[in-house]
Amino acid sequence: MSATSPQSWMLPAVVEFSPLSGVDLPLSLRTLLRRRGFGEKAAEEIMTPPPLPDPSHHFPDLAAAVARVCQACERGDALAVCGDYDADGMTSTALLLRALLPLGARAEPAIPSRMDEGYGLNVAMVERLHAQGIRLLITVDNGVAATEALERAQSLAMDVIVTDHHTIPAIRPPMTALLHPATTPTDSPYRGLAGVGLAYVLAISVAERLQQPKAIQVARDLFCIGTVADMAPLTGANRRWLLEGLTTLHRSHCEGLLALQRLAGIGDSPLSAEDIGFQLAPRINAVGRLGDPVLVVELLTETDRGKAMALARRCDDLNRQRRDLCDAIEAEAVALVEADGECQVPPFLLLAQSHWHHGVIGIVAARLMERYHRPVALLAGDGDGRLRASARSPQGFAVDQALTSCADLLDRFGGHPAAGGFTVAAEHVHALHERLNGLAEPWLLQQGCNRPIRPEVCLGLKEINWDLWKGLNALAPFGMGNRSPLFWSRGCVVEDWRVLNGGHLALTVGQDDTQRRAIAWRTAPLEPMPPSVDIAYELAVNEWRGERRLQLMLKAVRAHQPEVTLTCGERRYQARILPLKDAGIEPIPFEVINSTGESLRASLDQQAPVHCNDERSEHPQVRALLEEASIALGLRP
C-alpha cells in the first residue's frame, strides 16, 4: 500500500507507534532509525561506535606488508607510492608520504596523468620507476587489476604492495601483499574502507611497529578528507575514525588543509562531513580533473604556511575553471536535449561532443541524471576516431551491467551500478545508444519519468528546533551508508517566495504559528505558486552576521491536496482529516473512504496506535490501511 501523487512521492512505511523507546532521541529520529532497520543496540552504536578490532586479525596480508615497509624504512630504501588522480588516490598518496618519510623511507609519489596515461598502475610507470632504482611500489586506490603492470614488476624483481578497494579479478595478479576490504571477514568494520582508509591502516600499523606515533599525526586528517570525498560508506571503521577526526580537523597540523579551509572560509570551529564534501573535496578533485595531481600531493605534504597557501590558491583557481566548464557543458547538453522538446528525451540519454573535457563530463552527467531522472552518458573526443565517456545512473538501474551487455561494442569499460566509464569507436556510438535505450526502456516504464521523492519522516514545522538539531547531530556524519534524513511537512502555507540570483528558489512557509525559511538550489518556482504546499527537505544551519538559524534545504515541492489517495492492490481509497466538531472523535480524527463511498473513521495520538471503534478495523489489512492513512495525512512521523 502506498500514497500516490502525480509527482511520484513515495511515502515511508508504517512502523510501531513508539519505536526504539530506550534510545535518547526525539520520536521523529527514533522513527527514522526504525524505518532504516535499526534495533536499539544498532541505534546506540551509530551514535557511539564501538572500539575497532586489531586490523591484523582482519587483513590476511597486513603483517607481510608491514614487515616489507618497515624494512624499507629501516634501510632507507627508495620506494614509490603509486596513487590515482581522484581525491581518494591523491590524499592516500600524501598520507603515506607524510607517514613514511619521517620513518626513514625515501618515498616519492607516482600518479598517472588522467589525460595522457589514464587510470592506475601501468607498465611504462613500472619500467620508469625501476630505472630510477626503486624496488618497492605501494599502490593506493588502484593496482588490484593492473595485471600487465604487476607481471612486469615481478619480472623486474620489484616488490609491490597493493592497497585497493576496486574489484579483485578472478585470477589475482602477482603481488607481495594485498590490503583490500574484500579480504576481511564479511562482518568486518573495515569492509567499507576506501583507498585512503587502507593507506591509513598500513600507516598506523607501520608507525606502531616502529614505535613512532608522531609520524602519523596528520594521517587521520587526510583519511577524513579522502573518505568523504570518495563517498565511502560512513559505517564501521570509517564512521569511528571520521567522528574522531572531525573534532580536530580545523586544527590540523597539515598546512595544506589549513590553507584550503581558509580559502573556503571555514575552519574556525569543528568541521562537518558536509564541509569536506562541498568545500574542500571539490578543490582537491578539480586538480585531478584539470591539472597535475602531484599539485595536491605537494599541497598536502608542504610544511611551510606561505608555500601551502600559494599551492592552495592554484587548486582554487582550477576549481573555478572546473565550475565554469561544468556550467558551460551542462548548458550545451541541455540545449541539445531540449532542441526537440523535453518529452523526446530517450530512455538512456547519450550525448557526444568532441570538444567536451574528459575531466568534468562525469559531473555534468550526474547533473543531467538528476534533471531528467534516467541514466546518462556523456562522450568526449579521445583521438583516433574514439570517444571516452562517463556514465551516471539513478537508483535501480545498474549501469555497470548495462555496459557489460554492450561489451562487444566497447573498447574498454568499467564501473559500478551508479557510475561507469567506457571508450567506444565513433562508428559504434549509434548502435551502442540503441542497445542502451533498449536496456533502459523497461526500467523507465516501470519506474516512471518523474524523479521519485522518498521522504522518511513527517515533521510539523514546530518540531524543527534546536533539540531536533542536537539529535540529528548525534546521528551525523551523513553520507554514503548513512544518508542525510529527508523530512517532509504537509500543508505548509506559502507566506513568501522569490527567485534568487543563480536561479535558486527561496520560500517562507508557515504552519499554525510557526514559520521556517527554505531554499531550493537551481530550482524554478511552481507555476503558479500554490497557496499551500507539501515540502520534502533536509535540515541545515544558516549562519549570517553572527546569527544561526535552522533552514530547510528543499528537495521537492508539490501543491497540497487535503485528500490523499491510497492504493491496496487494485483498490483505491481516499483519506482526509476531519474537523473536530464534525467527527466526534479525538484527538485527531480522520476517515478513509472506499470506491463505493463507505467510510471508516478513526483517530490518532502519536504516542498510541490508531484508535477506531469500528469492528472492521480488527482486520489486519484494514488496520494497515488506517496506519498508512495516518502517515499519508501527516499525522504520524
588 and 575 Cβ atoms separated by less than 8 Å: no
Band (pLDDT 50/70/90 cuts) for residue 586 is low
CA 505 to chain centre: 24
CATH architecture of 345-447: Roll (3.10)
The closest of 246, 191, 239, 248 to 46, measured between CA atoms, is 239
pLDDT tens for 262-300 read 999 987 889 999 999 999 999 999 998 888 889 999 999
Q: How far apart are CA 364 and CA 378, in angstroms?
A: 8
CATH architecture of 55-247: Alpha-Beta Complex (3.90)
23-46: average pLDDT: 94
Cell 600524501 -> residue: 94
| Sequence ranges of the domains in the chain | 2-48+453-559, 55-247, 345-447, 564-632
Band (pLDDT 50/70/90 cuts) for residue 114 is low
Phi, psi of 550 (to 5 degrees): -75, 140
CATH architecture of 2-48+453-559: Beta Barrel (2.40)
pLDDT tens for 358-398 read 889 999 999 999 888 999 999 999 888 999 999 999 988 99
**CB neighbours of 281 closer than 8 A, spacing ≥ 6?**
87, 225, 228, 229
Give pLDDT, residue 224.
97
180-195: average pLDDT: 96
587-608: average pLDDT: 85
Per DSSP, what are the bridge partners of residue 564?
575
pLDDT tens for 1-21 read 233 334 688 889 888 878 898
E-strand stretches of 111-223: 136-140, 159-163, 177-179
Q: How far apart are CA 435 and CA 289, in angstroms?
A: 29
Q: In the numeric block, which cell numbers belong to residue 381?
A: 573526443
CA 173 to chain centre: 31
Strands 571-577 and 136-140: unpaired
pLDDT tens for 316-345 read 999 999 999 999 999 999 999 988 665 688
Band (pLDDT 50/70/90 cuts) for residue 584 is very low
Q: How far is CA 440 from CA 361, 395, 399, 436, 448, in A?
A: 21, 12, 9, 6, 12
142 and 85 Cβ atoms separated by less than 8 Å: no
Q: What is the pTM of this model?
A: 0.88
